[in-house]
Amino acid sequence: MKPLLFFTACLLLSNTYAQKRDNLGTQRQNNTYITSFPFTLLTGGIILTKGSLDNYPDSLSFIMDTGCSGASLDSTTCAKLKIPLITSDMYLRGVGSVKKAIFTNIKTLKLPGIEVSNPEFHVIDYALLSEIYGIKIDGIIGYSFFKKYIVQINYDSSRIYVFPPKEFKYPKNGELLKPSLNTLIPIVDAELKNNKKVTDNYYFDMGAGLCLLLSNQFVADSAIFNKRQSRRKIVSTTVQGLTDKINMRLTTIKQMKIGHYTFRNIPTYAFDDISQVTHYPYLGGLIGNDLLRRFNVTLNYPGNEIFLAPNSHFFDPFDYSYTGLTLYFIDGQVKVSDVVKGSPADKIGILPEDVIMSVNNNLSNKIQIYSELLKKTGTKANIILMRDGQIMKKTLPIKSIL
Task: Express each pLDDT in 5-34 by its tens digit.
Answer: 222 222 233 333 333 444 455 455 567 999
Q: What strands, in cross-sheet order, belong to the sheet with 295-300?
A: 35-38, 159-163, 150-154, 295-300, 305-310, 175-177
pLDDT of amino acid 196: 84
Backbone angles phi, psi at 248, to 5 degrees: -140, 165
Q: Residue 151 and residue 149: Cα distance in Å, rounded? A: 6
Q: Which residue has the higher pLDDT, 26 or 255?
A: 255
Average pLDDT on 317-330 reads 80
Phi, psi angles (nearest 5°) of residue 291? -95, -45
Please report the pLDDT score of residue 195 as a whole number.
78
In this prediction, what percent of the chain has a pLDDT beyond 70?
Answer: 85
CA dihedral sign of residues 181, 184, 186, 187: negative
Amino acid identity at 148: K
Which domains does the chain show, CATH number per domain?
A: 18-163 (2.40.70.10), 169-310 (2.40.70.10), 325-397 (2.30.42.10)
Query: Model confidence over 46-57: pLDDT tens digits?
Result: 999 999 999 998
Q: How do beta strands 159-163 and 35-38 pair?
A: antiparallel
Mean pLDDT of the 325-329 span:
87
pLDDT in tens, 103-138: 999 999 999 999 999 998 999 999 888 988 899 999
Averaged confidence pLDDT in the chain = 86
Is pLDDT of 382 > 50? yes
Average pLDDT value for residue range 247-275: 91
pLDDT at 327: 87
**pLDDT of 247 higher than 90:** no
| Percentage, residues of the chain above pLDDT 90 | 61
Banded pLDDT at 165 (limits 50, 70, 90)? very high
Q: Give the Å distances, CA to CA, from 274 to 21, 208, 217, 267.
A: 42, 18, 10, 22
The one-letter code for the residue type at 269 is Y
User: For the stretch 330-344, what's the b/e string if a residue is b when 16 or more beta carbons lie within 10 angstroms of its beta carbon?
Assistant: beeebbbbbbbeebb
Instruction: Kindly state the average pLDDT of the residues 386-394.
Output: 95
Strand partners, 115: 110
273-301 burial: b if 16+ Cβ within 10 Å, else e: bebebbbbeebbbbbbbbbbbbbbbbbbb
- Which runs of consecutive H residues, i.e. helices, occur in 348-396? 367-373
| 223-233 tens-digit pLDDT | 888 666 556 67
pLDDT at 249 over 80: yes
- For residue 11, the model assigns a pLDDT of 26
